[in-house]
Amino acid sequence: MLNATIDSFAWGSLRPRDDGNIKIESVDLGLCLEFKAQDEMRLDGQLDLVKAALSRLEAKNSHGFDIFLKSDAPPGSGLGSSSALMVALVGLVKELKNLPFTDYETAQVAYAIEREDLGILGGLQDQYASTFGGFNFIEFSKDRVIVNPLRISPDILNELEHNLLLCFTGTTRRSDRIIEDQIRRFEEGNPEALNALSQQKQLAVDMKNALLRRRLDDFGDLLHNAWQAKRRMSSKISNPLIDELYEVARKHGALGGKITGAGGGGYMLFYCGFECKHKVADAMRKLGASPVDFAFEAHGLQTWRIHESGTGR
Protein backbone atom coordinates (compact mmCIF):
# COMPACT_ATOMS: atom_id res chain seq x y z
CA MET A 1 0.00 0.00 0.00
CA LEU A 2 1.21 3.49 -0.92
CA ASN A 3 0.40 6.09 1.71
CA ALA A 4 1.22 9.71 2.59
CA THR A 5 0.23 11.86 5.54
CA ILE A 6 -1.01 15.44 5.28
CA ASP A 7 -1.32 18.37 7.66
CA SER A 8 -4.70 17.35 9.05
CA PHE A 9 -4.10 16.39 12.66
CA ALA A 10 -5.64 14.69 15.66
CA TRP A 11 -4.67 16.55 18.84
CA GLY A 12 -4.80 15.47 22.46
CA SER A 13 -3.61 16.54 25.88
CA LEU A 14 -3.54 14.68 29.17
CA ARG A 15 -3.25 16.68 32.37
CA PRO A 16 -2.76 14.80 35.68
CA ARG A 17 -4.88 15.79 38.65
CA ASP A 18 -4.90 14.74 42.29
CA ASP A 19 -8.56 14.43 43.25
CA GLY A 20 -9.24 10.93 41.87
CA ASN A 21 -11.49 12.17 39.04
CA ILE A 22 -11.21 11.55 35.30
CA LYS A 23 -12.57 14.03 32.76
CA ILE A 24 -12.71 13.38 29.01
CA GLU A 25 -13.66 16.17 26.61
CA SER A 26 -14.10 15.89 22.84
CA VAL A 27 -14.42 19.17 20.96
CA ASP A 28 -15.57 17.49 17.75
CA LEU A 29 -18.38 15.50 19.36
CA GLY A 30 -19.33 18.20 21.87
CA LEU A 31 -19.10 15.66 24.69
CA CYS A 32 -17.61 15.92 28.15
CA LEU A 33 -17.64 12.95 30.53
CA GLU A 34 -16.58 12.92 34.17
CA PHE A 35 -16.30 9.96 36.55
CA LYS A 36 -14.30 8.62 39.46
CA ALA A 37 -11.06 6.81 38.70
CA GLN A 38 -12.41 3.66 40.39
CA ASP A 39 -15.66 3.68 38.38
CA GLU A 40 -16.21 1.13 35.63
CA MET A 41 -16.08 2.64 32.14
CA ARG A 42 -18.94 1.11 30.18
CA LEU A 43 -18.84 1.08 26.39
CA ASP A 44 -22.14 2.86 25.77
CA GLY A 45 -21.52 4.78 22.55
CA GLN A 46 -20.11 7.86 24.28
CA LEU A 47 -16.39 8.32 23.66
CA ASP A 48 -15.86 4.56 23.43
CA LEU A 49 -12.55 5.06 21.59
CA VAL A 50 -11.15 6.76 24.68
CA LYS A 51 -12.64 4.30 27.16
CA ALA A 52 -11.33 1.30 25.22
CA ALA A 53 -7.84 2.81 25.00
CA LEU A 54 -7.73 3.55 28.74
CA SER A 55 -8.97 0.03 29.56
CA ARG A 56 -6.56 -1.91 27.32
CA LEU A 57 -3.57 0.13 28.45
CA GLU A 58 -4.67 0.07 32.12
CA ALA A 59 -4.28 3.83 32.24
CA LYS A 60 -6.67 4.62 35.10
CA ASN A 61 -4.90 5.59 38.29
CA SER A 62 -5.97 6.72 41.73
CA HIS A 63 -4.99 10.36 41.10
CA GLY A 64 -7.08 10.94 37.97
CA PHE A 65 -6.45 13.12 34.91
CA ASP A 66 -8.09 15.28 32.24
CA ILE A 67 -8.06 14.29 28.57
CA PHE A 68 -8.82 16.86 25.88
CA LEU A 69 -9.26 15.79 22.23
CA LYS A 70 -9.68 17.61 18.93
CA SER A 71 -9.43 16.48 15.30
CA ASP A 72 -8.98 18.58 12.17
CA ALA A 73 -11.00 16.15 10.02
CA PRO A 74 -14.54 14.96 10.83
CA PRO A 75 -15.32 11.26 11.39
CA GLY A 76 -16.37 9.50 8.19
CA SER A 77 -14.24 11.79 6.03
CA GLY A 78 -12.01 9.05 4.60
CA LEU A 79 -8.89 10.78 5.94
CA GLY A 80 -8.29 8.25 8.71
CA SER A 81 -9.35 10.66 11.45
CA SER A 82 -10.64 7.99 13.86
CA SER A 83 -7.43 5.97 13.65
CA ALA A 84 -5.32 9.11 13.95
CA LEU A 85 -7.22 9.97 17.13
CA MET A 86 -6.67 6.45 18.46
CA VAL A 87 -2.93 6.72 17.77
CA ALA A 88 -2.92 10.05 19.62
CA LEU A 89 -4.67 8.42 22.59
CA VAL A 90 -2.13 5.61 22.68
CA GLY A 91 0.59 8.26 22.55
CA LEU A 92 -0.92 10.11 25.53
CA VAL A 93 -1.06 6.97 27.67
CA LYS A 94 2.39 5.92 26.48
CA GLU A 95 3.70 9.27 27.75
CA LEU A 96 1.72 9.08 31.00
CA LYS A 97 2.97 5.60 31.89
CA ASN A 98 6.41 5.82 30.23
CA LEU A 99 5.60 2.79 28.09
CA PRO A 100 8.55 1.72 25.89
CA PHE A 101 6.47 1.25 22.73
CA THR A 102 8.16 1.25 19.32
CA ASP A 103 6.28 2.83 16.41
CA TYR A 104 5.27 -0.64 15.27
CA GLU A 105 3.90 -1.48 18.72
CA THR A 106 2.04 1.82 18.95
CA ALA A 107 0.34 1.22 15.60
CA GLN A 108 -0.49 -2.39 16.48
CA VAL A 109 -2.01 -1.44 19.85
CA ALA A 110 -4.12 1.26 18.17
CA TYR A 111 -5.26 -1.32 15.62
CA ALA A 112 -6.12 -3.87 18.32
CA ILE A 113 -8.25 -1.37 20.26
CA GLU A 114 -10.23 -0.30 17.20
CA ARG A 115 -10.63 -3.61 15.42
CA GLU A 116 -10.60 -6.17 18.25
CA ASP A 117 -11.82 -4.39 21.39
CA LEU A 118 -14.40 -2.19 19.67
CA GLY A 119 -15.15 -4.43 16.67
CA ILE A 120 -14.83 -1.58 14.13
CA LEU A 121 -14.29 -3.07 10.68
CA GLY A 122 -11.26 -1.93 8.69
CA GLY A 123 -7.62 -2.61 7.96
CA LEU A 124 -4.30 -1.63 9.50
CA GLN A 125 -3.21 1.09 7.11
CA ASP A 126 -4.57 4.14 8.93
CA GLN A 127 -2.96 3.28 12.27
CA TYR A 128 0.45 2.69 10.69
CA ALA A 129 0.25 5.78 8.50
CA SER A 130 -0.68 8.01 11.45
CA THR A 131 2.04 6.56 13.66
CA PHE A 132 4.92 6.69 11.17
CA GLY A 133 3.98 9.73 9.07
CA GLY A 134 5.47 10.76 5.74
CA PHE A 135 5.46 8.86 2.44
CA ASN A 136 5.56 5.09 2.96
CA PHE A 137 5.12 1.92 1.00
CA ILE A 138 3.58 -0.45 3.56
CA GLU A 139 3.61 -4.21 3.07
CA PHE A 140 1.02 -6.27 4.93
CA SER A 141 1.31 -10.03 5.31
CA LYS A 142 -0.45 -12.50 7.56
CA ASP A 143 2.01 -12.25 10.45
CA ARG A 144 3.86 -8.95 10.00
CA VAL A 145 3.85 -5.41 8.67
CA ILE A 146 6.83 -3.72 7.01
CA VAL A 147 6.90 0.07 6.66
CA ASN A 148 9.25 1.23 3.89
CA PRO A 149 9.85 5.01 4.01
CA LEU A 150 10.14 6.51 0.53
CA ARG A 151 12.91 9.00 -0.21
CA ILE A 152 11.05 11.35 -2.53
CA SER A 153 12.97 14.46 -3.54
CA PRO A 154 11.70 17.87 -2.33
CA ASP A 155 11.00 19.10 -5.87
CA ILE A 156 8.75 16.11 -6.57
CA LEU A 157 6.91 16.69 -3.26
CA ASN A 158 6.42 20.34 -4.20
CA GLU A 159 5.12 19.39 -7.63
CA LEU A 160 2.73 16.86 -6.12
CA GLU A 161 1.34 19.42 -3.69
CA HIS A 162 0.82 21.90 -6.53
CA ASN A 163 -0.85 19.33 -8.80
CA LEU A 164 -3.02 17.44 -6.32
CA LEU A 165 -6.49 18.78 -5.51
CA LEU A 166 -8.33 17.63 -2.38
CA CYS A 167 -12.11 18.20 -2.31
CA PHE A 168 -14.72 17.55 0.34
CA THR A 169 -17.78 16.01 -1.32
CA GLY A 170 -20.09 17.52 1.29
CA THR A 171 -21.07 14.20 2.84
CA THR A 172 -19.52 11.78 5.31
CA ARG A 173 -20.27 8.07 5.56
CA ARG A 174 -20.00 4.96 7.73
CA SER A 175 -17.06 3.00 6.37
CA ASP A 176 -17.94 -0.25 8.18
CA ARG A 177 -20.92 -0.91 5.90
CA ILE A 178 -18.77 -0.49 2.80
CA ILE A 179 -16.01 -2.69 4.22
CA GLU A 180 -18.59 -5.27 5.26
CA ASP A 181 -19.80 -5.51 1.67
CA GLN A 182 -16.22 -5.88 0.39
CA ILE A 183 -15.49 -8.65 2.89
CA ARG A 184 -18.64 -10.47 1.88
CA ARG A 185 -17.69 -10.33 -1.80
CA PHE A 186 -14.16 -11.58 -1.09
CA GLU A 187 -15.41 -14.44 1.10
CA GLU A 188 -17.87 -15.47 -1.60
CA GLY A 189 -15.01 -15.55 -4.08
CA ASN A 190 -16.51 -12.89 -6.33
CA PRO A 191 -14.20 -12.88 -9.39
CA GLU A 192 -14.59 -9.16 -10.07
CA ALA A 193 -13.73 -8.18 -6.47
CA LEU A 194 -10.76 -10.55 -6.29
CA ASN A 195 -9.39 -9.35 -9.61
CA ALA A 196 -9.81 -5.72 -8.55
CA LEU A 197 -7.94 -6.37 -5.30
CA SER A 198 -5.07 -8.00 -7.16
CA GLN A 199 -4.94 -5.09 -9.58
CA GLN A 200 -4.92 -2.61 -6.69
CA LYS A 201 -1.85 -4.29 -5.20
CA GLN A 202 0.08 -4.11 -8.47
CA LEU A 203 -0.98 -0.51 -9.07
CA ALA A 204 0.36 0.48 -5.63
CA VAL A 205 3.77 -0.86 -6.68
CA ASP A 206 3.56 0.90 -10.06
CA MET A 207 2.57 4.21 -8.44
CA LYS A 208 5.46 3.97 -5.97
CA ASN A 209 7.88 3.38 -8.86
CA ALA A 210 6.41 6.31 -10.82
CA LEU A 211 7.04 8.64 -7.88
CA LEU A 212 10.58 7.43 -7.32
CA ARG A 213 11.34 7.73 -11.04
CA ARG A 214 9.87 11.25 -11.17
CA ARG A 215 7.17 10.31 -13.69
CA LEU A 216 4.28 12.34 -12.33
CA ASP A 217 2.04 12.16 -15.39
CA ASP A 218 2.35 8.38 -15.19
CA PHE A 219 1.40 8.67 -11.52
CA GLY A 220 -1.76 10.57 -12.50
CA ASP A 221 -2.71 7.96 -15.08
CA LEU A 222 -2.11 5.15 -12.58
CA LEU A 223 -4.28 6.96 -10.05
CA HIS A 224 -7.09 6.80 -12.62
CA ASN A 225 -6.54 3.06 -13.10
CA ALA A 226 -6.49 2.54 -9.34
CA TRP A 227 -9.86 4.28 -8.99
CA GLN A 228 -11.39 2.11 -11.71
CA ALA A 229 -10.13 -0.99 -9.90
CA LYS A 230 -11.31 0.25 -6.49
CA ARG A 231 -14.85 0.86 -7.79
CA ARG A 232 -15.10 -2.82 -8.78
CA MET A 233 -14.44 -4.00 -5.23
CA SER A 234 -17.93 -2.97 -4.06
CA SER A 235 -20.92 -1.16 -5.54
CA LYS A 236 -21.09 0.91 -2.33
CA ILE A 237 -17.70 2.59 -2.87
CA SER A 238 -19.06 5.09 -5.38
CA ASN A 239 -22.44 6.74 -5.94
CA PRO A 240 -23.98 9.10 -8.53
CA LEU A 241 -22.48 12.23 -6.90
CA ILE A 242 -18.97 10.76 -6.74
CA ASP A 243 -19.23 9.50 -10.31
CA GLU A 244 -20.35 12.94 -11.51
CA LEU A 245 -17.56 14.73 -9.63
CA TYR A 246 -14.99 12.37 -11.10
CA GLU A 247 -16.31 12.61 -14.66
CA VAL A 248 -16.44 16.42 -14.55
CA ALA A 249 -12.94 16.63 -13.03
CA ARG A 250 -11.59 14.50 -15.87
CA LYS A 251 -13.33 16.67 -18.47
CA HIS A 252 -11.61 19.73 -17.00
CA GLY A 253 -8.14 18.23 -17.09
CA ALA A 254 -7.65 15.87 -14.15
CA LEU A 255 -5.56 12.88 -15.19
CA GLY A 256 -6.86 10.70 -12.37
CA GLY A 257 -8.32 10.67 -8.91
CA LYS A 258 -9.95 8.61 -6.21
CA ILE A 259 -12.21 8.75 -3.21
CA THR A 260 -10.21 8.66 0.02
CA GLY A 261 -10.75 5.91 2.57
CA ALA A 262 -13.39 3.25 2.09
CA GLY A 263 -15.54 5.37 -0.20
CA GLY A 264 -19.17 6.42 -0.24
CA GLY A 265 -18.41 10.06 0.65
CA GLY A 266 -15.83 12.15 2.42
CA TYR A 267 -12.96 13.56 0.34
CA MET A 268 -11.86 13.07 -3.26
CA LEU A 269 -8.27 13.53 -4.45
CA PHE A 270 -7.46 14.51 -8.04
CA TYR A 271 -4.16 14.76 -9.90
CA CYS A 272 -4.21 17.69 -12.32
CA GLY A 273 -1.67 19.60 -14.32
CA PHE A 274 -1.06 22.80 -12.37
CA GLU A 275 -2.29 24.93 -15.30
CA CYS A 276 -5.74 23.32 -15.16
CA LYS A 277 -6.02 22.74 -11.41
CA HIS A 278 -8.01 25.95 -10.93
CA LYS A 279 -10.46 24.86 -13.65
CA VAL A 280 -11.05 21.54 -11.91
CA ALA A 281 -11.49 23.34 -8.57
CA ASP A 282 -14.07 25.74 -10.05
CA ALA A 283 -15.97 22.82 -11.60
CA MET A 284 -16.03 21.02 -8.26
CA ARG A 285 -17.41 24.10 -6.49
CA LYS A 286 -20.24 24.35 -9.03
CA LEU A 287 -21.22 20.78 -8.13
CA GLY A 288 -21.22 21.55 -4.40
CA ALA A 289 -17.82 20.12 -3.46
CA SER A 290 -15.29 22.18 -1.50
CA PRO A 291 -11.59 22.27 -2.47
CA VAL A 292 -9.31 22.19 0.58
CA ASP A 293 -5.70 23.34 0.81
CA PHE A 294 -3.26 20.83 2.26
CA ALA A 295 0.44 20.09 2.55
CA PHE A 296 2.30 16.84 3.09
CA GLU A 297 3.39 16.14 6.66
CA ALA A 298 6.63 14.26 7.29
CA HIS A 299 6.04 13.51 10.98
CA GLY A 300 3.80 10.87 12.50
CA LEU A 301 2.93 10.59 16.19
CA GLN A 302 4.64 13.19 18.36
CA THR A 303 4.31 13.47 22.14
CA TRP A 304 5.93 15.82 24.63
CA ARG A 305 5.66 16.98 28.23
CA ILE A 306 5.41 20.45 29.69
CA HIS A 307 5.22 21.58 33.30
CA GLU A 308 3.20 24.52 34.46
CA SER A 309 2.11 25.54 37.95
CA GLY A 310 3.51 22.36 39.37
CA THR A 311 1.53 20.02 37.07
CA GLY A 312 2.64 18.06 34.03
CA ARG A 313 1.04 17.56 30.64
* Residues 46-60: tens digit of each pLDDT: 999 999 999 999 998
* Confidence grade of residue 122 (pLDDT, cut at 50, 70, 90): confident
Q: Map residue 120 onto helix, strand or coil.
A: coil
* CATH entry, 2-134+298-312, from 3.40.50.720, 3.30.230.120, 3.30.70.890, 3.30.1050.10: 3.30.230.120
**What's the predicted TM-score (pTM) here?**
0.90
Instruction: Measure the CA–CA gap between 247 and 264, rounded to whole angstroms.
Output: 16
Instruction: Measure the CA–CA gap between 225 and 223, rounded to whole angstroms.
Output: 5
| Top-confidence residue, 29 or 137 | 137
pLDDT tens, residue by residue, 249-300: 999 999 999 998 877 888 999 999 889 999 999 999 999 999 999 999 999 9
* Confidence grade of residue 312 (pLDDT, cut at 50, 70, 90): very low
Residue-level pLDDT at 229: 92
Q: What is the mean pLDDT of residues 173-192?
A: 80
In the beta sheet, which residues pair with residue 11?
70
Residue-level pLDDT at 4: 95
In the chain, % of residues over pLDDT 90:
71
Phi, psi of 39 (to 5 degrees): -70, 150
Q: What is the mean pLDDT of residues 230-258?
A: 93
Ranges of each domain in the chain: 2-134+298-312, 154-292
Other CB atoms closer than 10 Å to residue 17's CB: what's the count? 14
Other CB atoms closer than 10 Å to residue 168's CB: what's the count? 22
Residue-level pLDDT at 235: 85
* Lowest pLDDT segment from 12-26, 172-186, 223-237, 268-282: 172-186
Instruction: Measure the CA–CA gap between 22 and 53, rounded to whole angstroms.
Output: 14
CATH match of 154-292 with 3.30.70.890 = yes
* Confidence grade of residue 180 (pLDDT, cut at 50, 70, 90): confident
pLDDT tens, residue by residue, 128-175: 999 999 999 999 988 899 999 999 999 999 999 999 999 999 887 666
Q: Which residues are catalytic?
A: 126
Residue-level pLDDT at 236: 86
